[in-house]
Copies of this chain bind each other. A is one copy, B any other.
Amino acid sequence: MSSRFELIAFDADDTLWHNEIVFQSTHKRFVSLLEKYHEPEWILERLFATEIQNLKHFGYGIKGFTLSMIETAVELTEGRVSGKEIQYIVEMGRDMLAHPVELLEGAKEVVEEIAGSHPIMLLTKGDLLDQETKLARSGLGDLFSDIEIVSEKNVDTYAAVLERQKVHPEKFLMVGNSIKSDIIPVLEAGGEAVYIPYKTTWAHEQVPEKEVKQHQFTRLGSIQELPPWLGG
């Protein structure tokens, strides 16, 4: 397989391995903890609001999310949450960090195949140590010529990556599941992007349909469609 791309970058969470489901199962545990105080919808609404409020302080990742769960629990119980319950929330965070890495179907074969003909890199956001250990546990680590874990994926991030990697934008392809983080800013930086939606998208990463329509990019049904699209 060959293509006109000199560097192909992959997002990690929900592009190569399942991630959102780990958050969703934690949401369920969090709701169970607080359902004696509030309705599930309200608990999740307040948790999401706290997460968004904290993003500028804590950034993305499980540690910040855990601190947001703790703050939400204090708020929703008006301070009545017990020490034991707080400890349980910290343990939820540690459980998330220790959760097995489950690759998406076909991800391993596709990454191996593309790595045989293109330099590939991993480009993801989240907690540094968490993303590194997930990559190590995924068994895919050796296939990537470079790994960058960034605090935000915007047009400046991609411009800096392209400069560091010494790749012209038109020779760069990004593959990911978030239109907001993996697609639009890449197009704005002059690169190309392939969108492979995951079955569910975190509310913070959702983009209004009207805005999506202003951009031209390829949408594939699964990562297994990537090699044929590349011309393999």
B82→A87 contact, CB < 8 A: no
A128→B146 contact, CB < 8 A: no
B residues less than 8 Å from A128 (CB atoms):
59, 127-128, 149-151
Instruction: Select from chain B the residue with minimum beta-carbon distance to A59.
Output: B129
Q: Number of contact residues on A: which range applies?
A: 35 or more
A81→B71 contact, CB < 8 A: no
B94→A57 contact, CB < 8 A: yes
Cα(A86)–Cα(B84), bound, Å: 12
How far apart are A155's CB and chain B's nearest CB, in angstroms? 16
Binary CB contact string for chain A from 150 to 185 against chain B (1 if under 8 A, 0 otherwise): 111000000000001000000000000000000000
B residues less than 8 Å from A2 (CB atoms):
none
Copies in the complex: 2
Interface locus among A61-69, A203-211, A221-229: A61-69
Q: Does A58 contact B (CB under 8 A)?
A: yes
A59→B127 contact, CB < 8 A: yes
Question: Given A63-B67, A67-B63, A149-B128, is A74 in contact with B57 using a C-beta cutoff of 8 Å?
Answer: no
Q: Does A93 contact B (CB under 8 A)?
A: yes
Q: Does A114 contact B (CB under 8 A)?
A: no
**Which residue, A97, A150, A151, has most C-beta atoms of chain B within 10 A?**
A151
In-complex Cβ contact of A70 among B90, B146, B150 (8 A): B90
In-complex Cβ contact of A151 among B81, B129, B150 (8 A): B129
How far apart are A132's CB and chain B's nearest CB, in angstroms? 5
Cα(A64)–Cα(B78), bound, Å: 25
B residues less than 8 Å from A93 (CB atoms):
67
Q: Does A201 contact B (CB under 8 A)?
A: no
A82→B79 contact, CB < 8 A: yes
How far apart are A129's CB and chain B's nearest CB, in angstroms? 3
Cα(A146)–Cα(B160), bound, Å: 10
26 A-B pairs with C-beta separation under 8 A: A57-B97, A57-B98, A58-B129, A59-B127, A59-B128, A59-B129, A59-B130, A61-B63, A63-B64, A63-B67, A67-B90, A67-B93, A70-B86, A70-B90, A71-B87, A71-B90, A74-B83, A74-B86, A74-B87, A79-B82, A79-B84, A79-B87, A80-B83, A128-B149, A128-B150, A146-B164
